[in-house]
Structure 1
Amino acid sequence: MLLRLFFFLFILLIGLSSAVAQPEKYSLSSDSTVNRLAGAHKVYYATRIEKRPKIDGRLNDVCWETGIWSGGFIQQVPNQGKKPSQDTEIKLLFDNSNLYVGFKCYDKGPGKIRPILSRRDKMAGDIAGIAIDSYHDKQTAYEFNVAASGQKVDLVHLGAYLWDFNWDAVWDGKAQVYDSIWTSEIQIPFSQIRFSPGKEQVWGMHVWRWIDRLSEEDQWKLIPIDAPSMVYLFGELRGIEGIKPKVNYEFLPYVNSRFSPNTDLKNKMSYGYGLNGKVGLNSGFTLDYAINPDFGQVEADPAVLNLTSYEIFNEEKRPFFLEGNTILDFSFGEDMLYYSRRIGHAPSYFPGLDDNQTMNISENTPILSALKLTGKTKNGLSVGVLQSFTAKENAIIYTNDSKSKMAIEPFTSFIVGRIKQDFDKGNTVVGGMVTSTYRNINDTHLEFLSNSSLAGGIDFQHNWKKRKYFIDFKGFFTEIRGDEKSISKLQYSPVHNYQRIDAGHLEYDTLKSSLSGWGGSLQGGKRSGKLRIIGSLNWRTPGVDLNDVGYLAQADVIKQMVNVTYKVSQPKGIIQSYFVEFEQEHNWNYGNETTLDRFKIHGFTQFKNLWNVHLNLKGYINYFDTRELSGNPNIFLGPNLLFSGPKLFKDDCFRDVELFVQTNQAKDLFIGVGPRLRYIEDQISKSSSFTAFIRWQISDRFSISSRTVFDHSIDNHEYIKNTRYLVGKIDRNTISSTFRLEYFVSPEISLQYYGNPYASIGKFDDFREVADADNKSLALRYNKLEKTLMANNTYILENDEPTKYTIRNPDFNYQKFNSNLVGRWEFKPGSTFYLVWTNSRFANAGVLDQSIWKSFVNIPNVKSQNVFMVKFSYWFSL
């Protein structure tokens, strides 16, 4: 209760301090030179041309003789406010259709320019770019960058140092490297950015250059390192007149072919075709559409063996859902109202088969069509609407020479709507969102799925004192309706756990036909300067659920958090920069049970040689897991850090320590290594891991990188699946590795390999029955069970009482491998040809007969599944 009171007092103090702090003048930095440069009003006037340049990076077209080259760049890092080590100049031209940007990046070190080729949207080597706030809303911007190698990087600024690198526009850019200068040329079609109609355009503009070998960033108009966000400090771009918004049609048809030689089915070859596209309704709004879309991912999700009760969150990688996704964002902490990977997810039902049956089942539910309207008006109103239909999906079951169908996913409709209004140059934003899911369920065996769901939310954000202080509120509700089976299943899920026998505030009702709830988040504080303080409160009632078209990890939880950070960015002695972060978190549920008290200290230091060190110290005083026993009693997992009796930071009290050291990333050989150790107060549970990362830039075109994690853990409280009251001690070893090999013929032609081998073995012992789940004494919390291993690989567990349990041996030897070899050719902007080989392997043996190392190196002996794919897509516009 004291911690909760402290949180609300903290929010009140933040409000009072912001009201009285610096009433007349606000300083972005303690350095007056930095304040002067950041506060300067810098404007560039673009020049109209009649004949467009050839985009080759040479800047030798006649049009580049007109207009003004602008220099005067300022160093941001490492020496903020100082003159750059190298000079840079920029020029902007335009015609009715495009904006043209030219860069001259001088370099006094012949042969030291780093033209590193890499994947699109990956920053590598020397690079220069421009960001355009075309709405001039001081919040969002489109950024276009070209590396010295000619590689393109585009992204969207989301505000407060958040970026979306998944946004891919259709534009052109080239570069040329000479002895003491490299130049680049960029062509940005006006159809690819959104702006309000008007006689003259006034846009925000940010121009920057990165000198890789020096880790130096130079900026046309300085944005201080400790500024709370970037876009509101942009300079201005003027002079663009007479460009008229028009309806623009873009088409991206595709065809593909897929060959699966290892499948048991007769038809090993499949084909696909479809159309993605967009209509630029005007300069502010775009309609994206997809007919029989190809939502394949070139790179598979990471391999992982999930032994927790929580769903794994995977990032979106499908092109249609990435376009304009920022407008549809409504996230709060780890949860979100709209999670696009729900659309086209894996089928929900998996039929059981007899010994004489085989089955053809789709990995994903096919998407019939999808429409998305997104945009923003000149008055600051953002609108986003998405409608998608997924087909009823059937599994084909083969029995000897006959075949039959069984429904595994019903026809489903998804609707998402989002609206936001900006006020006061983006300092205040008010918005709302509504989502809806409807399933047409006609099969009895699919009645475990809900029929419909509705969710809605409102959000409010306000910034003041030049965005030094902020407050952010989000509130939402959900309602799900369906058959009694579906609502019972929902109550029983790990998200809710209504069946918990020790939760007096929860009631598991098998007759319910609906489930509803609400939640929200409140965050505020000071987010710039050396000292930064942010407090937050998140809450989810027991009945709230977002998982039809959103993402919710856990209901019935209230989380309070305070974060204090001290950050210094000015070099001194051997130190380039450093920060120290302290974080406190307190969680409880709607039954007023404390479930977590956590503290964290995080330190980071970067040295003048550009090596850096991370140190993390974390711990939990009270940790009651309401999900560990899958709906059975709350179980006490004990304190495992920081406090021992009344003393704080006693030397032997740290139980979770993580250290990570990295070398200079600008070098051809880059290495990062570090251990992590964790100990629990029960003197039994513990874990240790070691992470190693290496990247070798063999040449400007060829690189190899790998990240490997070795983990050993002992958990004395591992829940035995499919039982009600049993836990065991698990001794688990895991090796997980990712490996990348990249070779580039040019920025447009590449060969890339991605491999992810994963092995995990677990041995269970010391089986126990839960007696008093929340007792802090280990001896009183459990009753020990004697085990007998039977010939059929099952255990008989019993104690002095007449109770006896029979369980399958829970030991496991889990092996998984995903890999892709991708040849890619972008033969014209937006048009690509792919050649892909996918190899996957999976095994899960219940008997441990080898070490973790043998399990890992034997992954190549596991039966493989190979898929060969060819895809051709062609972009054009009208």
Structure 2
Amino acid sequence: MKKLVFLSILLSSFWSFSQKKILQAQSTAEPITIDGNLDEAAWNNAPIATNFVMFEPDNGKPITENKKTEIKVLYNNDAIYIGAMMYDDEPNKILKEISQRDNFGTADIFGVFVNGFNDGQQNFEFFVSAADVQGDCIMTDAVGEDYSWDAVWLSKAKIIDKGWVVEIKLPYAALRFSSENKQTWGINFFREVKRERKKYTWTLIDTKIGTFTQQNGELAGIENIKPPTRLFFLPYASYYLNAADGQKTYGTMKGGMDIKYGINDAFTLDAILIPDFGQTKYDDQILNLSPFEQQFNENRAFFTEGTDLFNKGKMFYSRRIGGSPSIDPDLNDNEEIIENVQNVSLINALKISGRTKNGLGIGVLNAVTEKTFATIKDTISNETRRVVVEPLTNYNVLVLDQRFRKNSSVTFINTNVTRNGNYRDANVTGLAWDLNTKANTYSLFGNAKYSHINSEEDKNGLFTTIGFAETSGKYRYSIGSDFVTKDYDPNDLGINFYTNYYNFYGNANYRILNPTKLFNTLRVNYNMYAEFNKESGKVQDNSFNANINLTTVKNNYFGMGITFYPVEINDYYEPRADNRYVIIPRKFESWASISTNYNKKFAIDLNPSIAILDEPGRMSYAVEVGPRYRFSDKFLLTYYFTFFRKNNNKGYIDNVDGDNNESTPDNIVFANRNVITYSNTLGGKYALNSTMTLNLSVRQYWSYAENKDILQLEQNGTLTPYPEYTDNKNSSFYSWNADLSYSWWFAPGSQVSILYRNNADNFERIIDKQFKDNVKALLNNDALKHVFSISVKYFIDYNAVKNKFRKRA
């Protein structure tokens, strides 16, 4: 009898988890006020979505009765409305840190995931925290959650004696759906109890399956609604006051507009008219001793919002648009550059993106930058001339992404850069595929990319990769290989550092899918990698790595790993010359990471690491320490300190032939050097309420490389003493950035931003090792720049304006 009861319960559980849940939306003609009270009569008769199950950490476990969650959905001709009651037997313990939009901090969260086409391809996700802070994103299995996407919608959260309540209005203009009379949407609801670090969903999201968006439930009952005209205007006005020591203070006014237009129910056009990126976050520059450029994050909203399509195939690096000039001017004897620009100005940009109901995603991005000059002066005659460092340039990206069976895709990508006149043009075309079995257990992925450079000497290159992986269960693995030719060059609109090689790699890993007595999560990884120069066959890289990452039942994170390079490798990049390489000794690396529970007022991150090379005295070590303290739900301070030291590092410093761009120089100069880096970062947040925040960000950075011995690179990759070289090639770079900002979302989609910032940086060959003197000199010199700015942007919805005029008429 007991066995029959157990079997009945098991079958019932299986049935409830395997069947797709359906919720009926209730039509209403009654006005709904978004105040968090749920006191309108229409809420009383609406069907209820309940019986949540755990997403993490104990996947599939039913929610407890004292955390019962009930959701109702209403709709009318303008929007859908979600009313959520999150019961909690200890409402005084609900975490409710106030944070900025899209950053919930330490707070309970409620979310709704909507897929208007119910095709398992893309969710529009809307979140509200217990502190009444909004967040939204687009979710795809390929990219994950993209919080750069912002919609305009209304919400209100309130903590009551039974738990907390959320009321949401999602205008149809914030969603995507077909024009059919009867709608069936994919939907899921989410709840996180932050103090317990437990996440729940209405419909089970089975973590054994390698997909998220295909496990929604369904929202039925929506009838006779029409997709509205999606036309939004975002005009802005800004004022900048600039000052620097020894320079004239001046102010500037700017104004412009962004436009968003829904071409149809699936596709949207975004356009920038007269861009303004003056309040964009500064780049965290470093002393870059490597042969490659420093890669920066994209901080401009237009190039981050909803760009998942454009990132397919990893061919698009948006910082190329409006980046540094591409042409270095030729200087005659006795000439010097007296005026140049760091970044080329953007004239305008637009993008069109969306996906049809048959799964075809289409993305088009176009941007134009202006013709840019540098001023050159003859130091003898004092005559000046202007030369072009960047012609009028057009950037274009085209993406066609066909999804099928809800979990697989084949993608065509093309990037093109056309410069006006007889300057370098570039075109890169790629085909990428991500093929998954119907049960999401195995994946075959890869791409093939071809680049063509049209310049004085045309270049054509190829990059291909192929991989296979098991993507479900406790034990998973992957294998793959890349092949890259010497002339593959996507860098006019992409970024790629390594060419002329082929490799083989593999990974095997184990993870727990449900908590144990000790761990909430646990994952063990083993990785191997081997890389060979395509022409010589020499080993460029060879490593074996093992690491473990876990979270305890008290929600503290621990990780550690070791990497072993068992043979000497041949670095073909550090010499900065064709067919030259330097031998790197065998190496052992190890790291560890600790991050304590952020739910506590005080938490700390600690990340030590060490690397030892098979050469006397050659090693490196680093430590990163990041304490944080939450004084209240409004006030948070974070601090991060980094120290990194390389002893007896061998690196390139010069080419004595005089032209660092020569392909086969005779004498390549290296240095045996110590490299030391200090970095201090202070962050602070004070929230006046859920729509107003004050933020502080300060970063001090100093890194120097002190050369001890000068070395010459031999043809066989070894280094020998080179006492004839006497130039000072020491390097010292230090910088300072400070931002103090006030942000107020005074209306839906509308914001006032007030910012004060100062920054300075300096590079020297003479190293002053007194830390205090370096910082003091940086803050007191003429390079320190001050900027005060005010920016106001206002969101205008065409539908709202139209309805107001109708009512007046």
Q: How many angstroms apart in 1 are the aligned matches of 2:87 and 2:713?
A: 70
Deviation at 1:526, TM superposition (A): 0.5
Alignment of 1:142-541 (within 5 A): 142-159=124-141, 162-262=144-244, 268-331=250-313, 336-349=314-327, 361-395=340-374, 405-424=386-405, 426-441=406-421, 450-482=423-455, 484=456, 513-541=457-485
* Normalised TM-score (structure 2): 0.90
Q: How many angstroms apart in 1 are the aligned matches of 2:335 and 2:574?
A: 38
Q: How many angstroms apart in 1 are the aligned matches of 2:655 and 2:183?
A: 64
Q: Secondary structure at the match of 2:244?
A: coil
- Code of the aligned partner of 1:603: I
- Code of the aligned partner of 1:751: L
Q: How many angstroms apart in 1 are the aligned matches of 2:713 and 2:760?
A: 37
CA deviations 1:194-242 (Å, max 9, x no partner) are: 2233222222212111111111111111112333121111111222222
In structure 2, relative to structure 1, the CA distance for the partners of 1:402 and 1:178 (3 Å cut) is farther
Please name the residue that 1:717 is paired with: 650
Please name the residue that 1:41 is paired with: 20
Q: How many angstroms apart in 1 are the aligned matches of 2:12 and 2:467?
A: 32
Q: How many angstroms apart in 2 are the aligned matches of 1:264 and 1:62?
A: 68
Deviation at 1:126, TM superposition (A): 0.7
Alignment check: 8 A CA contact 1:670 1:696 kept: yes
* Normalised TM-score (structure 1): 0.83
Match of 2:612 among 669, 679, 683: 679
Please name the residue that 2:805 is paired with: none
Q: Which moved more, 1:836-845 or 1:267-276?
A: 267-276
Q: How many angstroms apart in 2 are the aligned matches of 1:32 and 1:598?
A: 48
Deviation at 1:130, TM superposition (A): 1.0
- Code of the aligned partner of 2:756: W
Alignment of 1:513-662 (within 5 A): 513-591=457-535, 592-622=537-567, 623-631=569-577, 633-640=580-587, 655-662=588-595
Deviation at 1:361, TM superposition (A): 4.7
Q: How many angstroms apart in 1 are the aligned matches of 2:332 and 2:168?
A: 58
Q: How many angstroms apart in 2 are the aligned matches of 1:711 and 1:765?
A: 18
Deviation at 1:404, TM superposition (A): 6.8
Deviation at 1:856, TM superposition (A): 5.5
Please name the residue that 1:850 is paired with: 769
Q: How many angstroms apart in 2 are the aligned matches of 1:398 and 1:837?
A: 35
Q: Secondary structure at the match of 1:307?
A: coil
CA deviations 1:549-601 (Å, max 9, x no partner) are: 11212221223211111001322232222110000011113212221111111
Q: How many angstroms apart in 1 are the aligned matches of 2:35 and 2:468?
A: 48
CA deviations 1:314-372 (Å, max 9, x no partner) are: 222212222331122223xxxx2222221111233577899999956544322222221
CA deviations 1:752-784 (Å, max 9, x no partner) are: 11111111122111222123534xxxxxx2322
Q: How many angstroms apart in 2 are the aligned matches of 1:525 and 1:698?
A: 46
Q: How many angstroms apart in 2 are the aligned matches of 1:295 and 1:538?
A: 37
Q: How many angstroms apart in 2 are the aligned matches of 1:78 and 1:773?
A: 54
- Code of the aligned partner of 1:376: R
Alignment check: 8 A CA contact 1:199 1:242 kept: yes
Match of 1:729 among 664, 672, 675: 672
Aligned length: 769
Alignment check: 8 A CA contact 1:596 1:621 kept: no
Q: Secondary structure at the match of 1:453?
A: strand
Q: How many angstroms apart in 2 are the aligned matches of 1:637 and 1:71?
A: 60
CA deviations 1:675-720 (Å, max 9, x no partner) are: 1111001133211111111221111111111222111111442111
Q: Secondary structure at the match of 1:313?
A: coil
Please name the residue that 2:4 is paired with: none
In structure 2, relative to structure 1, the CA distance for the partners of 1:34 and 1:584 (3 Å cut) is farther
Deviation at 1:258, TM superposition (A): 1.4
Deviation at 1:451, TM superposition (A): 2.6
Alignment check: 8 A CA contact 2:243 2:249 kept: no
Deviation at 1:391, TM superposition (A): 1.0
Q: How many angstroms apart in 1 are the aligned matches of 2:786 and 2:575?
A: 39
Q: How many angstroms apart in 2 are the aligned matches of 1:826 and 1:41?
A: 38
Q: How many angstroms apart in 2 are the aligned matches of 1:810 and 1:563?
A: 41
Deviation at 1:834, TM superposition (A): 1.0
Match of 1:666 among 586, 589, 599: 599
Q: Which moved more, 1:278-287 or 1:196-205?
A: 196-205
- Code of the aligned partner of 2:654: K
In structure 2, relative to structure 1, the CA distance for the partners of 1:626 and 1:177 (3 Å cut) is same
CA deviations 1:121-151 (Å, max 9, x no partner) are: 1132111101112232313211100000011
Q: How many angstroms apart in 2 are the aligned matches of 1:407 and 1:868?
A: 31
Alignment check: 8 A CA contact 1:397 1:406 kept: yes
CA deviations 1:442-485 (Å, max 9, x no partner) are: 7xxxxxxx431111111222111411111112111110111x3x
Q: How many angstroms apart in 2 are the aligned matches of 1:548 and 1:686?
A: 36
Q: How many angstroms apart in 2 are the aligned matches of 1:305 and 1:274?
A: 36
RMSD: 2.6
In structure 2, relative to structure 1, the CA distance for the partners of 1:79 and 1:330 (3 Å cut) is closer
Alignment check: 8 A CA contact 1:213 1:667 kept: no
